[in-house]
Amino acid sequence: MLRLVGGRLLWSVPLLVVLSALTFLLAWLTPGDAARVVLGTDTDPAAYARVRSQLGLDRSLPEQYGTWLAGAVRGDLGRSLFTGESVAAVVDSRLAVSLSLLLLSALVIAVVGVAVGLVGALRGGVVGRALDGLSVVAMSVPTPWLGLVLVVVFAVNLAWFPVTGYVPAAQSPGGWALSLALPVVCLAAGGIAVIAKQVRGAVVEVLGRAYVRALRANGLPARRIICRHVAKNAALPVVTVFGVVLIGLLGGSIVVEQLFALPGLGQLTVTAAAQHDLPVLQGVVLCFTVLVVVVNLLVDLVTGWLSPRAVTR
């Protein structure tokens, strides 16, 4: 188990390095650099050269990357080209919002997705087909559009929830929950469908196995067979897909934060991408990558705990 975790951690180092290096390389390949972005239409060559050297752009690519990496290890991610704020500080201030949204959505996906999938697998028939259809629709609806529909129905017409904005939990726990309700539903819908489908498929697959028949032949009650044997066997593939869904949530959160005006990392990413603010973008990518590494690690831990083969080897 320890080796498994160690291996995954070791494997995450190249992931972090490759992603950040790729960002650098792509930035270097593009015509026009950060100095032009800062200066805008001001084309005085002297000013351009000065800004270039201020930003360190006159040095070689590996040198620039080395400097950034050395800073990143110390927790210094550079400064925004536009506001001049420390990237680390900006990322830090927005992390709580994004984590609230992501963790709540993950929880909703896990609970609702598993419940819906189980009902489909155990009941089957009309109920199963209806849930199947609903899943396909939920998976195929564009996230921004779903968000807009939710806003029109529940915020504008029914006025049950605020249209946009974020209330910190410290300020008002009730307000925090209300402000996150629609964003969480919007972000979780697709994931619920994916997990429900996966759970149903995995459970049905296990139900067809010879050992389930053998357990029934041995007289074990249905609840025990399902809760103990079917659940554990079906969990393996579901956990892997859950990891993929969680990583997908990062992308979805960008859209949802933008839509509901939540001041999180996603919104920061969109602004930085639109403004060509590479230091900020790199900081956010680093932060997202760390989240991905954590998710993958958790998936590996759960998988290892579930499957005996990984332990005995």
Partner 1 sequence: MNAWRAVAGRPLGAICLAWLGLVVLACAGADLIAPHHPQEQDLSSVYSGPTWAHWLGTDQLGRDILSRVLHGGRVSLLVVGQALAAYLVLGCAAGVLAGYRRGLLDRVVLRLGDLALSMPAVVILLVVLAIFPHDESAAMITLGALSAAGLARVVRASTVAVREEPFVAAARVAGLSTFRILGRHVLPSVIGPVISLVALVAGSALLVEASLGFLGLGVQPPEPSWGGLIAEASQAIYRQPWLLVPSGGVVALTAVACAVLGDVLRDATDDRTSREPLSWRRMRTQVTRRPGEPPDEAAVLSVRGLSVRLADGTALVDDVAFDVHPGTALGLVGESGCGKTMTVSAVLRLLPPGAVVEAAEVRFAGQDLLSLDERGMSRVRGGGIGYIAQDPVASLDPLFTVGDQLTEAVRHHNRGATRAEVRRRVVDLLEAVHLPDPPGVMAEYPHQLSGGMAQRVAIARALAGEPRVLIADEPTTALDVTVQAEILDLLRELRDRTGMALILVTHDWGVVADTCDTAVVMYAGQVVEQTSVQRVFEAPRHPYTEALLAADPNAAVPGTRLPVLPGSVPAPGHWPDGCRFAPRCAFATAECAGPVAMTAEPMRGSYRCVHPRHGTTTGARR
Residues 271-290, interacting with partner 1 (CB under 8 A): 272-274, 276-278, 281, 284-285, 288-289
Q: Give 162-221 as a DSSP string.
A: -SS----TTT-HHHHHHHHHHHHHHHHHHHHHHHHHHHHHHHHHHHTSHHHHHHHHTT--
Let me know: does 9 contact 297? Beta carbons within 8 Å: yes
To partner 1, the closest distance from the beta carbon of 88 in angstroms equals 18
CA gap 116, 309 in Å, rounded = 30
Q: Is there binding between residue 137 and partner 1 (CB under 8 A)? A: yes
Query: Of the listed pieces 82-90, 100-108, 165-173, 270-278, which binds partner 1 according to CB under 8 A?
Result: 270-278
Residue 79 DSSP symbol = B
Task: Output 88 or 256, the one with its CB closest to partner 1.
Answer: 256
Pick 124 or 168: Cβ nearer partner 1: 124
Of the two residues 99 and 244, which places its CB atom closer to partner 1 in the complex? Answer: 244
Can you give the C-alpha Rg of the chain in angstroms? 24
Nearer CB in complex with partner 1: 184/187: 187
Q: Which two tokens stand for residue 273?
A: 């991408």
CB 289 within 8 A of CB 5: no
Say which residues have a Cβ less than 8 Å from residue 74's Cβ, sequence separation at least 6.
Answer: none
Query: What one-character DSSP code corresponds to residue 40?
Result: T
**Least distance (Å) from partner 1 to the CB of residue 204?**
5
Site for partner 1 in 95-124 (CB under 8 A): 120-124
The CA–CA distances, whole Å, from 48 to 40, 67, 84, 132 equal: 10, 21, 17, 59
Please say which residue, 62 or 221, places its beta carbon nearer to partner 1: 221
Could you give phi then psi for residue 312, rounded to 5 degrees? -75, -20
Estimate the share of the chain in helix, then strand, then coil, as percent rounded to the nearest 5.
80, 0, 20
Task: Between 50 and 211, name the residue whose CB sits nearer to partner 1.
Answer: 211
Cβ at position 250, least distance to partner 1 in Å: 4
C-beta of 46: minimal distance to partner 1 in Å?
A: 27
The least CB distance from residue 78 to partner 1, in Å, is 15
Choosing from 29, 46, 126, 170, the residue that interacts with partner 1 (CB under 8 A) is: 29
Q: At residue 79, what are phi and psi to the nearest 5 degrees? A: -125, 150
From residue 139 to residue 158, the character string flagging contacts with partner 1 as x (rule: CB under 8 A) and all else as - is: xxxxxxxx-xx-xx---x--
String marking each residue 204-233 x if it binds partner 1 according to CB under 8 A = x--xxxxx-xxxxxxxxxx-x-x-xx--xx
> Angle between the 2-29 and 278-306 helix axes, to the nearest 10 degrees?
160
Which pair of structure tokens corresponds to residue 152? 């029109």
> Stretches 10-18, 48-56, 89-97, 176-184: which one binds partner 1 (CB under 8 A)?
10-18
Identified binder of partner 1 from the candidate list 87, 196, 239, 255, rule CB under 8 A: 255
Instruction: Please give the residues from 235 up to 254 whose contact with partner 1 meets the rule CB under 8 A.
Output: 244, 247-248, 250-252, 254
**Interface mask toward partner 1 for 60-99; x: CB under 8 A:** ----------------------------------------
**105 and 191 Cβ atoms separated by less than 8 Å:** yes
**Rounded Cα–Cα distance for residues 115 and 117 (Å):** 5
